[in-house]
């Protein structure tokens, strides 16, 4: 990427009559062929050329460059940029022309700056066609309007995690000496302990295993579990902190419009179960990701069953367009 | 009726938190072992019709009122 910042190529770009080659301005001229990517290319004058001419010219220039000493370096950069360009080209082709200026301004510009040729045709034999991991732009997606993302972020309400303290525990000792502990072996064979910060509850079993519930984030759950482990440790047990794992995450949000649950259960019957006489919410079991959603007439949605936060977000982004389709209009 | 099984459900936890808040945040510790509840409260006002007593620390030890037939504690 070093060649991208070299100054002389910029001047050439500026001098081009077909325009919009100004570096730093993240828009591109409508006359630019969309096959070459969204940004002005500093060396060559690429605007107003057809893609084919552009590719031919680039290939010629590329052959010339292959004779230079920096051949390998360039090829690596070209491959990366080419992959970016391919991705961008495909993305641009699928987007409407009016969106291009905004897309250009959205930050894709800097990564496509390159001072050497860019060809959209693959080099024979040695170019992977998939974007390199450093490709920052959106991958090739089906044409979707910009309003597709819901703009609503589910809030985490509860995290359940488990950890192994690695030693046998005497629950009666813990219950009698710890500060906020309940132990009723006739009812439940574990000590129920609570701490104020983060406000959580733990079930501590005589095997040394512990369940921690009530935290609002992954980090809080881990911190709380460590606090419980420290309490047990201070009571004289050789407690460790083994295999901490988040088992379940619960999130909730509000789509802000009423929903026709009857319609939803009719069209998505293989995923939904709705028995208003049993429970007022529709139970939607999403396959991918494997999340269960409770959907209510009011528009409130509860998502549960996640092992990671991203599953909650992904499940909500999946369900939101479906819910929009069942918005109550009366 | 034995409802202690439900103490660690979501509802039970919420009720427990409500209990804490009901004591206006002055609950220091609570313990339940051998069917005996022990509470330690701080900065408590005991108000009777004529009298007002303020204390820094109160320990409440409470046993089950009903005779559940369980064995006596040692």
Say which range, A72-81, A96-105, A246-255, A299-308, has the weakest mean pLDDT: A96-105
Question: Per the CB < 8 Å rule, is B13 touching A201?
Answer: yes
Query: DSSP label at A262?
Result: H
Residue among A38, A64, A61, A47 at smallest CA distance from A119: A61
Residue B49 C-alpha, separation from nearest chain A C-alpha, in angstroms: 33
Residue B28 C-alpha, separation from nearest chain A C-alpha, in angstroms: 8
Question: Per the CB < 8 Å rule, is B32 touching A158?
Answer: no
Report the C-alpha gap between A174 and A194 in whole angstroms. 13
Q: What is the mean pLDDT of chain A?
A: 76
Q: Which of A175, A188, A194 sits opposite B5 (nearest CB)?
A: A188
Task: For chain A, say whether B32 makes contact (Cβ under 8 Å).
Answer: yes
pLDDT recorded at residue A102: 41
Alpha-carbon distances of A223 from A161, A166, A201, A251, B16, rounded to whole Å? 11, 18, 12, 20, 21
Report the C-alpha gap between A39 and A36 in whole angstroms. 8
pLDDT recorded at residue B10: 56
**A7: Cβ–Cβ under 8 A, 6 or more apart, which residues?**
none
Angle made by CA atoms A108, A51, A96, in degrees to the nearest 5:
50
pLDDT at residue A72 is higher than 70: no
Measured between alpha carbons, how far apart are the two ends of chain B, in Å? 24
- Is pTM, for the whole model, over 0.80? no
Alpha helix locations (H) across A21-146? Answer: 51-65, 71-94, 100-103, 109-112
**A70: Cβ–Cβ under 8 A, 6 or more apart, which residues?**
none
For A187-226, write each residue's pLDDT tens digit: 999 999 999 999 999 999 999 999 999 999 999 999 999 9
Report the C-alpha gap between A284 and A315 in whole angstroms. 11
ipTM: 0.71
User: With pLDDT > 90 as the criterion, what percentage of chain A qualifies?
Assistant: 54
pLDDT recorded at residue A214: 97
Task: For chain B, say whether A194 makes contact (Cβ under 8 Å).
Answer: yes
Residue A275 token pair: 């028995």
For A86-120, write each residue's pLDDT tens digit: 444 444 444 444 444 444 344 344 444 444 444 44
For A236-272, write each residue's pLDDT tens digit: 999 999 999 999 999 999 999 999 999 999 999 999 9
CB A82 within 8 A of CB A119: yes
Alpha-carbon distances of B22 from A252, B4, B17, B30, B38, rounded to whole Å? 27, 20, 8, 14, 17
Q: Which of B8, B32, B33 sits opposite A201 (nearest CB)?
A: B8
For B18-57, write each residue's pLDDT tens digit: 666 666 678 999 999 999 999 999 999 999 999 999 999 9
Residues of chain B positioned with their CB less than 8 A from the CB of A188 = 4-5, 7-8
């Amino acid at each position: 990427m070093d060649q991208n910042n070299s100054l002389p190529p910029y001047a050439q770009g500026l001098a081009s009559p077909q325009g919009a080659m100004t570096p730093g301005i993240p828009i591109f001229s409508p006359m630019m062929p969309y096959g070459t990517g969204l940004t002005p290319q500093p060396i060559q004058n690429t605007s107003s050329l057809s893609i084919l001419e552009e590719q031919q010219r680039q290939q010629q220039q590329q052959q010339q460059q292959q004779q230079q000493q920096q051949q390998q370096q360039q090829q690596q950069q070209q491959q990366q940029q080419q992959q970016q360009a391919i991705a961008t080209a495909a993305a641009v082709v699928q987007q409407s022309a009016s969106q291009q200026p905004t897309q250009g301004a959205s930050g894709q510009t800097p990564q496509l700056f390159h001072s050497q040729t860019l060809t959209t045709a693959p080099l024979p034999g040695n170019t992977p066609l998939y974007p390199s991991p450093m490709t920052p732009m959106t991958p090739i997606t089906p044409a979707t309007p910009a309003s597709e993302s819901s703009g609503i972020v589910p809030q985490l309400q509860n995290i359940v995690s488990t950890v192994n303290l690695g030693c046998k525990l005497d629950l009666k000792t813990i219950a009698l000496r710890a500060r906020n502990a309940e132990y009723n072996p006739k009812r439940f064979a574990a000590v129920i302990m609570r701490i104020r910060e983060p406000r959580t509850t733990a079930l501590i079993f005589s095997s040394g295993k512990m369940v921690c519930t009530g935290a609002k984030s992954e980090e809080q759950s881990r911190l709380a579990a460590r606090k419980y482990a420290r309490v047990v440790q201070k009571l004289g047990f050789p407690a460790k902190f083994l295999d901490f794992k988040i088992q379940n995450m619960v999130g909730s949000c509000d789509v802000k419009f009423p929903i026709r649950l009857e319609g939803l259960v009719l069209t998505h019957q293989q995923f939904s179960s709705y028995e208003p006489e049993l429970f007022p919410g529709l139970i939607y079991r999403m396959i991918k990701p494997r999340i269960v959603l409770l959907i209510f007439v009011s528009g409130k949605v509860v998502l549960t069953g996640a092992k990671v936060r991203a599953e909650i977000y992904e499940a909500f982004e999946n369900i939101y367009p479906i819910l929009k389709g069942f918005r109550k209009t009366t | 009726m034995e409802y202690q099984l439900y103490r660690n459900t979501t509802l039970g936890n919420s009720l427990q938190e409500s209990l804490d808040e009901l004591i206006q945040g002055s609950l220091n510790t609570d313990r339940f072992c051998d069917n005996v509840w022990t509470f330690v409260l701080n900065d408590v006002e005991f108000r009777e019709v004529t009298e007002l007593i303020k204390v820094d620390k109160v320990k409440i030890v409470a046993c089950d009122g009903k005779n559940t037939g369980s064995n006596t504690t040692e």
